[in-house]
Amino acid sequence: MRTRPLKVALLGCGVVGSEVARIMTTHADDLTQRIGAPVELAGVAVRRPSKVREGIDPALITTDATALLKRGDIDVAIEVIGGIEPARTLITTAFEHGISVVSANKALLAQDGAALHAAAEQHGLDLYYEAAVAGAIPLVRPMRESLAGDKINRVMGIVNGTTNFILDKMDSTGAGYQEALDEATALGYAEADPTADVEGYDAAAKAAILAGIAFHTRVRLDDVYREGMTEVSAADFASAKRMGCTIKLLAILERAADGESVTARVHPAMIPLTHPLASVREAYNAVFVEAEAAGRLMFYGPGAGGSPTASAVLGDLVAVCRNKLAEATGPGESAYTQLPVSPMGDVVTRYHISLDVADKPGVLAQVATTFAEHGVSIDTVRQQGRPDGVGNEASLVVVTHRAPDAALSGTVEALRKLDTVRGVASIMRVEGE
């Protein structure tokens, strides 16, 4: 076994970074055995050097990340700063100085993954990023390596813990969105500004990264259709329950039936209680993968948190260090299929639509005609007086068969214009059947 240590620069020392440093110290012997050489924390770049960092030698702390990367003895950099800059420039600097990179940065990889992967390949270096998607859940490596001989047709995942916590609370307690969000915030599951989570931006970034791996095609963040979950109501959960469903915020990546294009989207959806994703509770993440030969697989675990994310980072660190020793690199980005990403209108799905309608004869016929005119076939209709007892009004719940999203949304637009339709109370897609 080699005795000269591999040297690691840690860029960022927040919740994840400090946990990475801690494990590198406490589990140094294990890491040495698994890598085949000792691994040494050679420097830690931070913004606030005065902050007390327990267990980290103060001599390692620097505010000059660039100088740390340029000093000439670093083998691997771990980027756990997050955000676009300075992370992007630092990763590029690392590659220019022969340093392989482990990153947990989903925003950066979703936005600039292509350029960063190209830079890694150009310099013959590794860029590993297991921690960027679904925290500790081994997902990037299984999809990229274990399923490398298979063909993935569909990925459907709960990839944001905050929103899953909120939706699970709404499901189990009957709470409304705001009440459940307040509880998530109080318990530390939601940030003070929850926009990135509840509007689906975080999930969309992960969806873009996963779609790239699943389909060997480049999917940009802008290619991902995105709808948040702030309008999901207690009434929606009641409707879902009547259908034997629950509601989850899903990232769904699909290969078209003809195999010639892909779609990527994030939105709340009803899924049957019998689906493995339905039983994913609290802030857990899970990703369901359908592959041609392997069939239906699911990966489940904590999607965030310092320790789980550090676990994923360290798994990558071991792999990258082993590659360094072997003077090899792991599988790089694979975008050889270059399939076009189709717009949301091409996605084939089902709608669950709640309408407030005039309570008089002929309304159902009018509504049904509108669906038929748009080529959308109705699965079930449930008609009832409104629960709030407003006179002369009824609610109509329509669940459609599968149809292109464009036809479904066109139907909804037309329904809004009917004089017997007072309003569209909610629209939700139905998935997982």
Query: Interface residues with its own copies (CB under 8 A)?
Result: 19, 23, 27, 30-31, 33-34, 130, 136-138, 141-142, 145-151, 216, 276, 279, 291-302, 305, 307-308, 310-319, 322-323, 326-329, 331, 334, 336-337
Choice between 268 and 308, CB closer to its own copies = 308
- 11 marked as part of a ligand binding site: yes
**What is d(CA 38, CA 174) in angstroms, rounded to the nearest whole number?**
53
Angle between helices 177-186 and 161-173 (to 10 degrees): 120
Cβ neighbours of residue 112 under 8 Å, at least 6 residues apart? 84, 88
The single-letter code of the amino acid at 19 is: E
Q: Which of 206, 324, 360, 417 is catalytic?
A: 206
Smallest separation, CB 251 to its own copies (Å): 18
**What is d(CA 96, CA 103) in angstroms, rounded to the nearest whole number?**
16
Choice between 28 and 406, CB closer to its own copies = 28
Smallest separation, CB 206 to its own copies (Å): 17
- 341 marked as part of a ligand binding site: no
Choice between 314 and 408, CB closer to its own copies = 314
Cβ neighbours of residue 430 under 8 Å, at least 6 residues apart? 243, 245, 269, 270, 271, 349, 350, 351, 352, 399
Smallest separation, CB 283 to its own copies (Å): 11
Q: Judge whether 72 and 61 are in contact, CB under 8 Å.
A: no
Q: Which two tokens stand for residue 266?
A: 């994030």
- 398 marked as part of a ligand binding site: no
- 191 marked as part of a ligand binding site: yes
- 176 marked as part of a ligand binding site: no
Choice between 6 and 221, CB closer to its own copies = 6
- 15 marked as part of a ligand binding site: yes
Angle between helices 106-122 and 87-96 (to 10 degrees): 20
**What is d(CA 78, CA 101) in angstroms, rounded to the nearest whole number?**
6
Smallest separation, CB 359 to its own copies (Å): 42
Cβ neighbours of residue 53 under 8 Å, at least 6 residues apart? 13, 18, 21, 44, 46, 61
- 200 marked as part of a ligand binding site: no
**What is d(CA 154, CA 150) in angstroms, rounded to the nearest whole number?**
12
- Residue 209: alpha-carbon gap to chain centroid: 8
Choice between 31 and 262, CB closer to its own copies = 31
Smallest separation, CB 277 to its own copies (Å): 11
Cβ neighbours of residue 28 under 8 Å, at least 6 residues apart? 38, 39
What SS3 class is residue 248? strand
Smallest separation, CB 23 to its own copies (Å): 6
Whether residue 169 lies in the annotated active site: no
Choice between 303 and 410, CB closer to its own copies = 303
Q: Which two tokens stand for residue 25?
A: 């110290």
**What is d(CA 394, CA 127) in angstroms, rounded to the nearest whole number?**
57
Cα–Cα–Cα angle for 360, 364, 368, rounded to 5 degrees = 155
- 124 marked as part of a ligand binding site: no
Query: Tokens 């500004």 map to which residue?
Result: 193
Active-site positions read: 206
Residues at the annotated binding site for NADP(+)?
11-18
Residues at the annotated binding site for L-homoserine?
191
Residues at the annotated binding site for NADPH?
106
Residues at the annotated binding site?
11-18, 106, 191
